[in-house]
Structure 1
Amino acid sequence: MEQLIAQDLSKRYYHNELTYRDLENLEKQFGIKFDNIISEISYVEKNLNLKIDNLDIKIDNLEQNIKKEPQMYS
């Protein structure tokens, strides 16, 4: 039964049809605490943003080094 519910929810999530009421019903039925899930998602999002920012900085540094490189050999 839980497998069927999970499949239905994943299908509706994929099609962007999952509602807040669905999440409330899950919380009531299974005791799922979405506050914890939301905080975990926020944590992961912040970490990903930091990693993306670091990659942007590295890319910018590489671009600057590449621009300087031809001048070194002139």
Structure 2
Amino acid sequence: MPFFKESMLVKEKDRQKLNKIIASGNQDYIDLILTKIFDDTTILLDGAEAQEERMRMQLLSNGKISAVSDGVI
């Protein structure tokens, strides 16, 4: 199984909005925003499903799955 990595990007504009929300003190809204920005589990699972689909389509179109490794186990 090939390795995959997903990165999480928080833009400066999003960070500034987050700081304003934290300063407001509305804990329910803070929790909602933090859950949306830092939902790592869902993002990683979506990436794994996309990788799985890519491998299936590669198998159907080429008859084989090619995996490139940089030697890291």
Q: TM-score if structure 2 supplies the norm length?
A: 0.46
Give the number of the structure whose residues are more often helix, by fraction: 1
Q: Return the structure number with greater relative CO, CA threshold 8 A, min gap 6.
A: 2
TM norm structure 1: 0.46
